[in-house]
Structure 1
Amino acid sequence: MTPAEKNASIIKTTAKRLGFDFCGIAKAGFLEEEAPKLEEWLNRNYNGEMGYLANHFDKRLDPTKLVEGAKTVVSLVYNYYPEEKLPSGNSDIKLAKYAYGEDYHFVIRDKLNEFLEILRAEIGEIDGRGFVDSAPVMERQWAQKAGLGWLGKNSLLLNKQQGSFFFLSELIIDLEVAPDTPLTKDYCGTCTACIDACPTDAIVDNGVIDGSRCISYLTIELKDAIPTEFKGQMENWAFGCDICQDVCPWNRFSKPHQEPRFSPNEELKELSKTDWREITEETFRKVFKKSAVKRTKLAGLKRNVDFLTSN
């Protein structure tokens, strides 16, 4: 076993020990094929008000500009598929499944920090950083290069064993590690379930999303009023949206996660439709204390619920 192969073995063993479902490895470098795609997507203003997606264009395509001396991108999959779906019988207001429990940034960042500590203890001095949806890293593309799945028509990474209800995160490190084989086959075939199901027609082409029409964007990223053209199209999603994932045939393989921090609290389960409409600052802070829903702030959540429930 070469040193690079030994490093790969240590990394994959550590990933499993920390609860990651899958771990893939790719050689760090410039994502040449992605550059023109990203440029065209931005030129079409598919990023809407997400101006930050146009920032750090070079860093977004080249991890060696994020971590000096980077040699390897380790891609990690962490399941969040819930055992029970919300809403309960008290309400029809919906949250994306990833937002049921504690904010994933905190949960996975803790694991990435521990991951690096373990690698340094077992291998030696390693320079690197962990990333979880918090920096200009093209997560899905790196996961595909690491052999963890392919990009579906809804642009999400799909995995044959687990579907798509999972978080992606990365370790970008200056360590030589034996890479995995990229997955080049598209297993979506002629299926168009996600395209057909999207009520706002946000999937404009195979793997291309008009972010400005996506319900997740409208309920989280958009700071202004939700355009009236989407009235009656939101299907009661108040934070995020799972429609394109719920209809994906590959998600029949999803299994409930084993992460206690992702479980919804009882207060969230018990919110009635009236509670949602009349939510107060006190209730918001209590129910969503450590939740990703705090991104919208109370005003944003009330805007979304009002849009869904008003005539």
Structure 2
Amino acid sequence: MRSVNYKTRIRSKAQELGFSFVGFSKAEFLDEEALKLEKWLSNGFHGEMKYMENHFEKRIDPRKLVEGTKTVISLLFNYYTTEKQTDPEAPKISSYAYGKDYHHVVKQRLKSLFVWMQEEIGEISGRYFVDSAPVLDKVWAERSGLGWIGKHTNLINKNQGSYFFIAELLVDLEIAPDGPIKDYCGTCTKCIDACPTGAIIQPYVVDGSKCISYFTIELKDAIPQEMKGQFDNWMFGCDICQEVCPWNRFSLTHNEPDFKPHPDLLSMTKKDWNELTKEKFQEVFQRSAVKRTKYEGLMRNIKFLGNS
């Protein structure tokens, strides 16, 4: 089967499994990104995320992560929703965490795609990842033409914006690569202007240690007091730089049942959150990515916001 037929059939099957966009890149050393990553780490922009320092060589060369890799297949899975929390005073949760944990949901679809490829195309070796390995997923998605990395460092798809989970298959199958597209951010600085903590220190550079998502999810210690009043009421993650991005006017509402929020989540009031019990936390977030911060972590965030 010719390479072009591989692409057509893989795209078709991936879309059948719920993926919105699929792109292909040649697996190779990322020389330019290696320098950028090295500089980002040396500046300490990863804060307490020490895992970012690990496996540097694998991050910049997928062939060192999965031996024999020839092609990186990048896939985007939509999570955009128009549903919002009903109480305007309630502490806010990032919309990507409304439903079931995306790691499990998307990885199951990836596994189905990989098994299908082995059955339909032939003997293929490789691995698949969803935000769970030292892979520069946004870089590979950009290289495969699925969008460009915006000034807020999120991937922006020209047709449907940036509310996507990025996944990838590293395979030993040689498939003709797709080229990147141009950057369409232009002179816009809405994301930079809107960031409450000034985490986007310059276009295309985010100091992760200043990001609200970092403070509310990654940081295990106490949140620094100097950040008081700068979180715009976010208790888990932050959507501000995406909410203000003009390209997200093209976002389409997802139709993934697993991403529907728990029936109680959006209706919980400020009072409900302040009085959240461990039992209620387990019930609402049983299969959610919010479990990553644990009950104690979420309550720390709520208290820091001054809501209790």
* Alignment TM-score > 0.5, same fold: yes
Q: Deviations over 1:170-207 (max 9, x none)?
A: 00100011111122x21000000000000000001111
Shift of residue 91, structure 1, vs aligned partner: 4.6
RMSD: 1.1
d(CA) in 2 for partners of 1:48, 1:305: 22
Amino acid at match of 1:41: W
Shift of residue 9, structure 1, vs aligned partner: 1.7
2:215 maps to 218
Q: Which residue, 226, 233, 236 being the options, matches 1:229? A: 226
Q: Which residue, 174, 179, 182 being the options, matches 2:180? A: 182
Amino acid at match of 1:11: I
d(CA) in 2 for partners of 1:258, 1:56: 36
Q: Which residue, 144, 147, 171 being the options, matches 2:145? A: 147
Amino acid at match of 2:173: L
Amino acid at match of 2:187: T
TM-score normalised by L of structure 2: 0.98
Maintained 8 Å contact 1:103/1:292: yes
1:304 maps to 301
1:293 maps to 290
Q: Identify unmatched segments of 5+ residues in structure 2.
A: none
SS in 2 for 1:167: strand
Taking structure 1 as reference, are residues 90 and 199 closer, same or farther at Cα in structure 2, changes over 3 Å only? Answer: closer
Identity percentage over the alignment?
57
2:205 maps to 208
d(CA) in 2 for partners of 1:277, 1:90: 14
Q: Deviations over 1:232-272 (max 9, x none)?
A: 11011000000000000000001110101001111212322
2:59 maps to 60
TM-score normalised by L of structure 1: 0.97
d(CA) in 1 for partners of 2:223, 2:287: 26
d(CA) in 2 for partners of 1:74, 1:130: 9
Shift of residue 309, structure 1, vs aligned partner: 2.0
Shift of residue 218, structure 1, vs aligned partner: 0.4
Q: Deviations over 1:270-309 (max 9, x none)?
A: 3221111121110110010000000000010000000112
Maintained 8 Å contact 1:268/1:287: yes
2:74 maps to 75
Q: Identify unmatched segments of 5+ residues in structure 1.
A: none
Maintained 8 Å contact 1:25/1:180: yes
d(CA) in 2 for partners of 1:132, 1:207: 23
d(CA) in 1 for partners of 2:88, 2:251: 26
List structure 1 segments (4+ residues) > 6 angstroms apart after TM superposition. Answer: none
Shift of residue 310, structure 1, vs aligned partner: 5.0
